[in-house]
Amino acid sequence: MRTRALGAVLVKGGLVGGLAGCGGTQSALDPRGPAAATIADFSWILFAGAAVIFIGTMALAAYGVLLPDRTKGVPPIRFILWGGLVFPGVTLLVLTVATAMVGNAVDFRTHPEEPLRVTVVGNMFWWEVVYPDLPGGPLVTANELRIPVGRPVEVTVTTRDVIHSFWVPALHGKMDLIPGRMNRITLIASEPAILRGQCAEFCGEQHAWMALFVVALDPAEFDGWIARQQAVPEPPDPADEQLVRGRTAFLEAGCGTCHVIRGLAEGPYAAVGQLGPDLTHVGSRLSIGAGVLPNGVGPLAAWIAGVQDIKSGARMPSYSTLDGETLTALARYLESLK
């Protein structure tokens, strides 16, 4: 009796506990697009099939071990032929064909609609996101891929350093980012959503904090976002001394050697650096540091002063010697870049 109760607890706890982790914004089992849905359906078929085979094999093993009669002798040759050769052979053949069919079904290259093209470039430990052929000219951002719902989005992935892997489980499978190569994966989101993706190939110290967000928007909202991102931010109102101070601090601290802010491309400290994320509209992003902190004045200040404590090994130095007022001004200036 007691064992049975314990068994029930284990089974229930295991199922409920295990499945609770399957929903949400970063789950292949909670698909938000047709490719991920096909992959999830196929996974369940594989899972069910594997479970049946596992139970069958274990039952045979139990039969062999537990049955007291040791004189059963050798099983008939027919059993070995069918069970050990024909069954696995046919199963593997069917799976090979089915896998190829699923692979075909989730490849939207022949989709009748013209795709939106995006390039994603992997960097240790963040993602550069480029929209190369928008009507208003190219757009560069980071760690966030905004896409219109329903339209295919052809993501070309490559890397500036080591191998990374682009994986947004709720939309599609993985695609490797390989030096010197352009790989392609086409995503379709079927509903507005904020999804989380993750680098899926160990790439160094902060691999685990190389996240990115995919924001699927209604097409009209997406167009509005593009228009806002393409605009060059206005210089701060001279009456707001704190913002002016923040902007000056950004230039004088040399942040522009690694970061672009469009609109700050002139002068001795021009912000035209290519080693870090484009910060032109950093204030509009959901997170900073590829998912490590939420956005906002406080987290920005913390990031600037203590990158190496927050994300040690990130390719940006901590600016721990900035005084409090300058730091606040700098963080407020960046947060104002919407």
Question: What residues line the site for ligand HEC (CB under 6 A)?
Answer: 125-126, 142-143, 206, 250, 253-255, 257-259, 275-277, 279, 282, 285, 288-290, 300, 303-304, 311, 314-316, 319, 330, 334
d(CA 89, CA 110): 33
Query: Which residues pair with residue 215 across a beta bridge?
Result: 146, 194
Residue 10 CB, nearest distance to ligand HEC (Å)?
A: 41
Of 24-32, 195-203, 217-225, 252-260: span binding Cu ion (CB under 5 A): 195-203
Residue 120 CB, nearest distance to ligand HEC (Å)?
A: 14
Residue 203 CB, nearest distance to ligand HEC (Å)?
A: 11
Task: Say which entry of ligand HEC, Cu ion, none residue 164 contacts (CB below 5 to 8 A, set by partner kind).
Answer: Cu ion
d(CA 335, CA 78): 73
Q: How many CB atoms lie within 10 A of CB 233?
A: 19
Q: Is 32 in the site for Cu ion (CB under 5 A)?
A: no
Tell me whether residue 169 or residue 289 sits nearer to ligand HEC (CB atom).
289
Tell me whether residue 121 or residue 249 sits nearer to Cu ion (CB atom).
121
Tell me whether residue 42 or residue 167 sits nearer to Cu ion (CB atom).
167
Residue 142 CB, nearest distance to ligand HEC (Å)?
A: 5
Q: Is 210 in the site for Cu ion (CB under 5 A)?
A: yes
Task: Say which entry of ligand HEC, Cu ion, none residue 245 contacts (CB below 5 to 8 A, set by partner kind).
Answer: none
Task: Say which entry of Cu ion, ligand HEC, none residue 153 contacts (CB below 5 to 8 A, set by partner kind).
Answer: none
- Can you give the binding site for Cu ion, defined by CB under 5 A? 164, 199, 203, 210
